[in-house]
Amino acid sequence: MGDRAEGKTELAPDLPGARRPRGTMPRMEGGSSGEENANLYVRGVEEGRRGEQLDPSSLIELLDVFGERGLRSYLVGFVEGREDAREG
């Protein structure tokens, strides 16, 4: 049960025996704060305006680290950034 050559995994501390991808962001207990949500929203707007594609593994990592509210803030910003790019 060691790490695979690609896609390293580690045991999820909250689910005994469950595996999840090893992320680059530290896990935050209790979700994200208002300031973090605002930062995620702005990040989403900027990435949406640039026409970047949503990466499913990045979305899962955002959910894991910042919770549902953080992910929602990012996605709302992303959609609004896409709309801004179309209008501009």
pLDDT digits (tens, 9 = 90+) for 6-58: 444 444 444 444 444 445 555 555 567 999 999 999 999 999 999 999 999 99
Q: What tokens appear for 64 in the block?
A: 């894991």
Stated pTM of the model: 0.66
Q: Which helix (H) or strand (E) holds 83?
A: helix 56-87
CA neighbor of 71 nearest in space, from 81, 56, 84: 56
> What is the predicted pLDDT for the residue at 13?
46
Bigger pLDDT: 13 vs 81: 81
CA neighbor of 61 nearest in space, from 17, 5, 12: 12
> What is the predicted pLDDT for the residue at 46?
97
Q: Is the confidence at residue 68, as pLDDT, over 90?
A: yes
CA neighbor of 70 nearest in space, from 35, 46, 45, 20: 35
> What is the predicted pLDDT for the residue at 25?
54
Q: How far is CA 54 from CA 39, 47, 49, 50, 63, in A?
A: 17, 9, 12, 12, 13
